[in-house]
Every structure is written in structure tokens, then in C-alpha cells.
A and B are shown apart, each in its own frame.
Chain A
């Protein structure tokens, strides 16, 4: 992380399939953001005609102010959370093993296609990297320039706390309530974090990866039937996982 914090090493060229002129606009945006936030811009990625920027969580609220007031990002698109915890029970459900054994997907060889190296603790974080389990991410857009930015910030796992955007983008109010409810993120300065969808006495944060999907506790994943080989038919070579799951 210390190496990516260095400004000179940050501009990762991205996938290279974006068009030239749009990318010039986005490179300019990134430079402006870097000018305002300085070292708080940790990592960025410009790929496929889209821009991701990961910033320090201390600068999260200030970033909103910069984006709206200095960079013309007048349209608030969404704000939500990400939980990078690897949960074999949940991700393995597509090839459900009734014995509750190790998930098939977790240990096959797809990791080669990873854009970023897994961080410590086995986390496989996404575009623009990350080094904690929780991330808050948001997207804003400029209606006049027709470009958008996706912002991310790492949050502390035990105390996921970040500044609120409500003072800058009023529309962030409900989105932060939703992230508070679904992920347990605390937004400092939000006028009233309360439940959005769930009843007031609900406990837990449903979109965290360690929150069990109760329907699956009652009835194991029924989708297995779809990937079983037909009677008298050999399983196709690419269905190895399906066949593995179907054995039990």
C-alpha cells in the first residue's frame, strides 16, 4: 500500500480499450482530483472508458465537496458498500455441497485472471485495489461533461466509519441509510441513520458476506438439478465443478 500511495507509480494505464479522447478527459479529471486531495488519492484505474479512484477514508467527505464544487460532478448516482470477505459457504452455493464442505469455486485456478494481487488475509479486492474487508464506493457523474467517476475508500473492519456525503449531495441520505443498514457502515454527520427497508428491531447486516441467507438454511440450493448430467450422458468436460457438486 505504501508503494501505491506514491504519486509517480499510480497512473495505471488501464485496459487500453478506452477511446483516446474520452480518456484524455478522464486523465484530466484524475489530475484535478489529485491536485485537490494530494496523497489521499491512493490508487486509480482507467479502463474500458471508466475511471475508478481509491482514496483515503479520511478524505472521503472532502472528496465529495471537491467533486461537486470544483469538478462539476453535479449528478449523484449511487453510494453503497462492498464486502470482500471470502465466504465459501455462500459463494459455493451455486454448486451446493449438502455436507457443507469446501466450496468448489474457492480452490480452482481462476485466480490467474485477477486484476490485482490478493491482499493479505486472502482478500481478493477489485478494481483500484484495496486492503481491507469493507469498502464504501460511490459514483458521481457530470451531466454537462458526460463523464463519471467511481470512488472507493477502504474502511476499518472493526469500526467501519466514514464521513457523510449528505452535506454535499442531499441524495446520499437514503443511500447512506441503506449502506448503514446493509453493511453496518457508520456515516459521521448523517442527520439520522435509521432503517430503510428492514423492521426497526432487525439485527445484523444482511449484505455482509457472513450473514447467512436464511432461505438456504431451510432448504439447500435447489439449482443443482439443472447442471446434473442427463441419464446415460457423460458430463461435458467443462462441467467439472457441476459434476463434482453432483456427486454427493
Chain B
């Protein structure tokens, strides 16, 4: 192999070092293995180069960029209402949740606030996006361990939520429903009742998945004590969301930060797990899905009447300023740093996505683990490739 770029050189050097060590002990040769770009454990295309010593990883390096779409640059040449179309596609499984922080940042700069009904519906859809997103994780984790059934259950039951999304917004995956100052349109008739029925089904799904996997011996053996992230290391790498709560850090932006979203209007709980392993990450996400259905139920009960759109100018211009708004998205902390210079579109948008930080820990985390565990650890970190590359 001709070492052409820096990372290839460092890969080569690390490989040589590993070989030297291995040869002394066992007279075996190291091996470089490419996981991906196409791999079923990843939602999208991510390549992970691992250097192996037998079955053990001595060095791992994720290679991103297969899905880089340059959204930060594109946002600079779009008007504010057009940006939601782009950001929908960052974390495509958590679709609606991507729109909200951007719109909140723009509203913050404009000094307007959406009416209560709009905030309620936003919060409901935000949690539905979370349910739709994490449902797939709950099923997918089983597939990585050789259990096929959970993924079928996940796809089956995710439809309940996606159908509700489609009924209200017209889009299953890219709702593009949030607007500066409110929402695109109000909920259709009968939607609230259907949503309640769907939430009941989703709670049933959680119970079912728990029965299927949690007590399973293979599942336990393959996830307990595997891929342990200590809280201090996780925070240093900027891990957020369920990944850091599974390491025992009790931090949830929904609860801890003042926000126009109405999480303070309902009774729910932030779950943490002290272990920090793959199992803990799975367990925390499962509990989160349950909590999300409870939040939706309570908000549906208390949904206020009224307008869904504040008064905004026809051509939206955002006053100059800078705003940082972050929310607790399905994958973790998602934030937009919006810089406006008073024009029709943003001057600069820094999109802080959870998966970028969550994956950046993998070189540290994968060192020393066995090849089959690489897959479960990656699956349990749960990242969406569009969310890494943007």
C-alpha cells in the first residue's frame, strides 16, 4: 500500500507498531479491516478503519464525509423559512426535532414567541419524532446481536407515529411543519384521539421489546460491561443525550433549561443508569421512549385552543445578533448558533449535532474491544450519518 495521506500514514505506523507487539507475543500478523462504508450497523455510510491484533482492536479510526452535504454553507444562501427544508434532513429519523431549535433561534433573534397552542403542538411533535427515532434503535440493536424479530416490531409500530405525522404535516419523514412564529397548519379533526391510541400502542411496543430482549441471555452477555464510558470522559468528548445519561450524568436539556417548549407543563422523569455500558444506553433509551409517550399523552389532554401562528411580517427579516439555541433531540444535544446581520437569511449557522460528538469518542472507546463488540458498541452509541456529516 502506498501511504498517501496523513491518516493513512498514521494508520500504517500504528499497524506496524501493533505487528511488532503481536509478533513478539504470538507470532501473528496484524490486520487492517475496513468496516463500511456500507454496513448495516450504521444508518448511512460511515467507514471505520480498524487495526486488529487477532480479534482485538488496537486502533480504530472513523472516516466521515460520505454524506457531507455542506448544510452550513447552504444555510448562508437560503432565507430563514427555506432553512427548515434543509435541516429536516440532518437527522432524518428525528426529522421534526431538527427544525425546532433553528426556528426557536430565529424567533429568539426576532423577539417573537409562538402562541401556546403552537408551542404545545411543537412539543408533541418533538416527542413523536423522538419516539419514531428511538423505536428504530430499539429494534436495530437486536439485529446487531442476531435477533431479527425486534426490527420487524419496530418498523411495524413506528408506522403508527409516522402516520400521525403524515396526517398532520403531509410528510412522513420531512414534515417541514415548523414556521417562524408558529406552525404550518392546525391539527386535522380526530387527530388527538388517534394520537392517544397510537401512544398506547407505542407503550405496548416498549413492553414487548423489553420482554423480547432485556431478559435474553445473549443480549445481556453481549451488552453488559461492553463499551463502558466513564462520565468524565463522555463529557470531555461532548457526549449528550441518552449516551451520557447512561453513564450516570443526570442532565436533560428539556428539564434543565428554560425553553419555549412546554416540558414544564407535564409530569415526567429523566432516567439515568450508572453503568455506562451498551446495555445502559439501550435501557435508558427504552425508558425515554416510554416517558415520551407519557409527555405526549399529557400534552394532548391539556392542548389549549387558539391560534397557531403569531403575527410575523410577510417577508421575514431577522435583526442582527447571535443566538444559541439547543434542544434535547432524540440523539442528544442539538444546537444552532445563528448569526444574523439583518438580512433575509442567516449570515452563519453553526450546526452542533449530537452524533458528531458521539462518534468522536469511538477511537478511544473501540481500543481493545473484540470485533463483534465493535458492532454492538456502534449500534448502542446510536448515530445517524446525516447527523455527523451534515
- Name A's B-contacting residues (CB within 8 A): 48-50, 52, 74-78, 80, 82-83, 90-91, 93-95, 105, 110-111, 113-115, 124, 126-127, 137, 139, 143, 146, 148, 150, 169-171, 173-175, 182, 192, 194-200, 206-207, 213, 216, 221, 223, 227, 236, 238-239, 241-242
**Chain B residues within 8 Å of A196, by CB:** 64-65
Contact check, A80 vs B350: say whether CB atoms are below 8 A apart: yes
**Chain A residues within 8 Å of B73, by CB:** 206-207, 213
Q: Which residue of B4, B343, B360 contacts A94 across the interface (Cβ within 8 Å)?
A: B343
Contact check, B65 vs A192: say whether CB atoms are below 8 A apart: no
B interface residues, how many (CB within 8 angstroms): 60
Contact check, B389 vs A197: say whether CB atoms are below 8 A apart: yes
With A76-B235, A194-B5: A171-B360 Cβ-Cβ less than 8 Å: yes
With A76-B236, A174-B356, A239-B315: A48-B65 Cβ-Cβ less than 8 Å: no
Binds A, one of B251-259, B278-286, B372-380: B251-259
With A74-B235, A94-B77: A110-B356 Cβ-Cβ less than 8 Å: no
What CA separation (Å) do A192 and B7 show in the bound complex? 8
With A146-B257, A171-B238: A105-B344 Cβ-Cβ less than 8 Å: yes
Contact check, B249 vs A143: say whether CB atoms are below 8 A apart: yes
Is B345 interfacial (CB 8 A cutoff)? yes
Count, A-B residue pairs, CB within 8 A: 146
Q: Which residue of A139, A198, A216, A241 contacts B77 across the interface (Cβ within 8 Å)?
A: A216
Q: A94-B77, A139-B324 are in contact. List 5 more A-B contacts (CB 8 A).
A: A91-B76, A124-B320, A126-B320, A148-B324, A170-B364
**Chain B residues within 8 Å of A238, by CB:** 313-315
With A76-B237, A127-B322: A146-B343 Cβ-Cβ less than 8 Å: no
Q: Which residue of B10, B236, B238, B348 contacts A192 across the interface (Cβ within 8 Å)?
A: B10
- Name B's A-contacting residues (CB within 8 A): 4-7, 10, 64-65, 68, 70, 72-74, 76-79, 82, 108, 232-233, 235-238, 240, 249, 251, 256-258, 313-315, 317, 319-324, 326, 333, 335, 337, 339, 341-345, 347-348, 350, 352, 356-357, 360-361, 364, 389
Shortest Cβ-Cβ A-B pairs, 9 listed: A110-B342, A197-B65, A171-B237, A197-B68, A171-B238, A200-B5, A78-B352, A174-B360, A76-B238
What CA separation (Å) do A241 and B344 show in the bound complex? 10
A47 closest partner in B (C-beta) = B321
Q: Is the interface of A mostly helix, strand, loop or mixed?
A: mixed
B359 closest partner in A (C-beta) = A174
Contact check, B314 vs A169: say whether CB atoms are below 8 A apart: no
What CA separation (Å) do A241 and B317 show in the bound complex? 12
**Chain A residues within 8 Å of B74, by CB:** 213
**Chain A residues within 8 Å of B319, by CB:** 110, 113
B389 closest partner in A (C-beta) = A197
Contact check, A49 vs B343: say whether CB atoms are below 8 A apart: no
Contact check, A115 vs B339: say whether CB atoms are below 8 A apart: no
Contact check, A110 vs B343: say whether CB atoms are below 8 A apart: yes
**Chain A residues within 8 Å of B236, by CB:** 74, 76, 169-171
What CA separation (Å) do A114 and B323 show in the bound complex? 14
